[in-house]
Amino acid sequence: DLTEITLPSHLKYIGDYAFSSSGLKSITIPATVEEIGSSAFFTCTSLASIELGSGLKSLGYSAFYKCAFTSVELPAGLFYGCSKLETVKIDGKVNYVGDRAFRECSSLKSIDLPSTVTYIGEDAFLECTSLTTLKLPASLEEVGVNFAANSGITSFTVEDGNKNFTV
C-alpha cells in the first residue's frame, strides 16, 4: 500500500482518482501543480497532513473526500486575481487563510469562513470590491496587515465567543 510519495517538481496536474484509497499519510503538493482532479485523494483515510502549493488554481469535486486532516492551510495567493469568483464556502477544518488568498477577486460577494479559522493572512481580501460584509469566526485569533484593504467591506460581524475581536 502506498504510504509515501515525492511528486516531481515539474508536475502541473494531479488526475482524477490519482491516489484514491491509497495509504498516504502526508503529501506536499509542489508549487507547479495548478489543478487537483476530482476524487484525487478520495478515501485516503490515513492522509492527515497536506501542504498545498502556491500554484494551485483548481480543486476537483471530492478531491479530499474522507481524508483524516486535522487542519488545512489555504496557500498564499490561492485565488489571487480570480476576478469572476462570486461566492466561496469553505467547509471542513481549514484553520488558515493564506496571504493574498482572495486578493483582487473583484466580483467576490460572499465568503463563508468555517468556525475553525484562526488566521486570515495579509492582503487576503485586498481589493475585493464587491465584498461588503465579513463574518469573523469565534476561533479567529489574528489577521494580517491590510487583510481587507481597498475592499468593499462596510461592516464586520464577530461571531459570539470571539475573545480577540470586537466591533
Least Cα distance to 94 among 120, 73, 125 occurs for 73
At 165 the pLDDT is 86
CA–CA separation, 70 and 43 (whole Å):
15
Q: Are the beta carbons of 98 and 120 closer than 8 angstroms?
A: no
Whether residue 11 is predicted with pLDDT greater than 80 in this model: the reply is: yes
Cell of 157: 460581524
Which residues share a beta bridge with 87? 110
Q: Are the beta carbons of 31 and 16 closer than 8 angstroms?
A: no
Q: Does 72 or 144 have the greater pLDDT score? A: 144
Query: In the chain, pLDDT over 90 holds for what percent of residues?
Result: 64
Backbone CA torsion sign across 20, 89, 120, 130: positive
Whether residue 92 is predicted with pLDDT greater than 70 in this model: the reply is: no
pLDDT bucket at 89, cuts 50 / 70 / 90: confident
Cell of 36: 487537483
